[in-house]
Structure 1
Amino acid sequence: MILSFAHDDMQGSVAVTVEQVADPTAIGKHPSAAGFPSCTAVVDYPGQGYRALFGWVQLVRSTDNSSGGAGFDMDPLRLFEDSPSPYAFFGVRPTLFDAPSRVERDPLHWTAHSYLARTPLDDDERQVRPLLGFSWGFDIDANRHITLRPVQALAAADWNAHLPYLAASHPGWAFDGWRSSPTESGLR
């Protein structure tokens, strides 16, 4: 799927690919991760330098998370899980990559909400301003079969529903409401 966004009077896009992992070692995972999903979201944006500085905020709801699947938790890169930043990835046109897996293939429902956002550098307050979002995930059934869920564009209401949790989880940051919806410009 290709999603579009606008920033600084320029158009950008994100190409999202979710696929089942055939060779876990090729992506740095244990062989038991075969059949689980991997998601790659690549940012294409004509701006340069600081104008192309973005981050990815990812929240996950799963039946094995802290709420038993009732709510979303932050999904930071494990190396930075104790960081006060809400971003899992941050940089110039950063690529989001995630390959969730479990050693045991017990029944599970797993959903990620992934948001491309920006933080203005000229502001005194650290703010997160969303540009686009998408949902993806997988399920494991009682027969240990893994089914990937299709990528779906998220809307302002999805981001805005996360605002209380984001503010409580990251009190040193301000989270702006989503002011416009992303548009889907094609499928991949």
Structure 2
Amino acid sequence: MNIPFLRDDTQGSLSVTVEHVDDPAAIGKHPSACGFPSCTAVVDYPGKGYRALFGCVQMVCSTDNSSAGAAFDMDPFYLFEDAPSPYAFFGINPTLFDAPSRVRRDSLDWTAHSYLAWTPMDDTERRVLPLAGFSWGFNVDSDSRITLQPVQALSPGDWDAHLPYLGTSYPGWAFDKWQPSPALGR
């Protein structure tokens, strides 16, 4: 799926691929990850240097999370899960990569809401401004079969529903509402 976005009147796109993992070692995973999904979201944006700094915010709702699937939790990159930043990935045209798996294949519903955002460097506060979002995930049925959820574009309303949780989870950050881009028809 290709999702267009607009930043500073310059168009970019987010290319999202979700596929079954057939060679866990090739992506740095344990053999038990075979058949689970991997998601790669690549930013294509013509800006250079600081104008191409973006971050990825990802939240997961899973039947094995802290709310047993009733709410979304942050999904930080495990090396930085104690860092006080909402971004799981951050950099110049960063690539979001995630390959969730479990050793046991118990029944499970797992859905991620992933957002591309940016933080203006000339503000006095740390602000997160969303640009594009998508949903993806997988289900494990009672026979241990893994089914991928289709990638779907998310709307400004989806992001805005997460704002109370984001504000509570990261009080040192401000989270803007998602302003639709009229030029892109959203």
When the two structures are superposed, what TM-score results if normalisation uses the length of structure 1? 0.96
Letter in 2 for 1:89: F
Could you say which residue in structure 1 is the equivalent of 2:55? 55
Following TM superposition, by how much is the alpha carbon of 1:30 offset from its aligned partner in structure 2, in angstroms? Answer: 0.1
Q: How many angstroms apart in 2 are the aligned matches of 1:157 and 1:110?
A: 21
Q: How many residues align?
A: 185
Following TM superposition, by how much is the alpha carbon of 1:16 offset from its aligned partner in structure 2, in angstroms? Answer: 0.3
Partner secondary structure for residue 32 of structure 1: helix
Q: How many angstroms apart in 2 are the aligned matches of 1:34 and 1:82?
A: 28
The C-alpha deviation readout for 1:40-83, integer Å capped at 9, x for no partner, is: 00000000000000000000000000000000000000000001
Could you say which residue in structure 2 is the equivalent of 1:87? 87
When the two structures are superposed, what TM-score results if normalisation uses the length of structure 2? 0.97
Q: How many angstroms apart in 1 are the aligned matches of 2:141 and 2:182?
A: 32
Structure 1 contact 14–42 (Cα < 8 Å) conserved: yes
Q: How many angstroms apart in 1 are the aligned matches of 2:60 and 2:43?
A: 21
Following TM superposition, by how much is the alpha carbon of 1:9 offset from its aligned partner in structure 2, in angstroms? Answer: 1.4
Ranges in structure 2 where 5+ consecutive residues have no aligned partner: none
The C-alpha deviation readout for 1:89-110, integer Å capped at 9, x for no partner, is: 0000000000000001000000
The correspondence of residues 155-166 of structure 1 with structure 2, limited to 5 A, is 155-166=155-166
Q: How many angstroms apart in 2 are the aligned matches of 1:152 and 1:17?
A: 11
Structure 2 contact 113–135 (Cα < 8 Å) conserved: yes
Partner secondary structure for residue 162 of structure 2: helix
Letter in 2 for 1:152: Q
Could you say which residue in structure 2 is the equivalent of 1:96? 96
The C-alpha deviation readout for 1:103-140, integer Å capped at 9, x for no partner, is: 01000000000000000000000000000000000000
Q: How many angstroms apart in 2 are the aligned matches of 1:105 and 1:21?
A: 15
Q: How many angstroms apart in 2 are the aligned matches of 1:59 and 1:32?
A: 23
Following TM superposition, by how much is the alpha carbon of 1:183 offset from its aligned partner in structure 2, in angstroms? Answer: 9.3
Structure 1 contact 17–39 (Cα < 8 Å) conserved: yes
Structure 1 contact 3–182 (Cα < 8 Å) conserved: no
Ranges in structure 1 where 5+ consecutive residues have no aligned partner: none
Could you say which residue in structure 1 is the equivalent of 2:41? 41
Q: How many angstroms apart in 2 are the aligned matches of 1:120 and 1:102?
A: 37
Partner secondary structure for residue 148 of structure 2: strand
The correspondence of residues 2-151 of structure 1 with structure 2, limited to 5 A, is 2-151=2-151
Structure 1 contact 2–184 (Cα < 8 Å) conserved: no
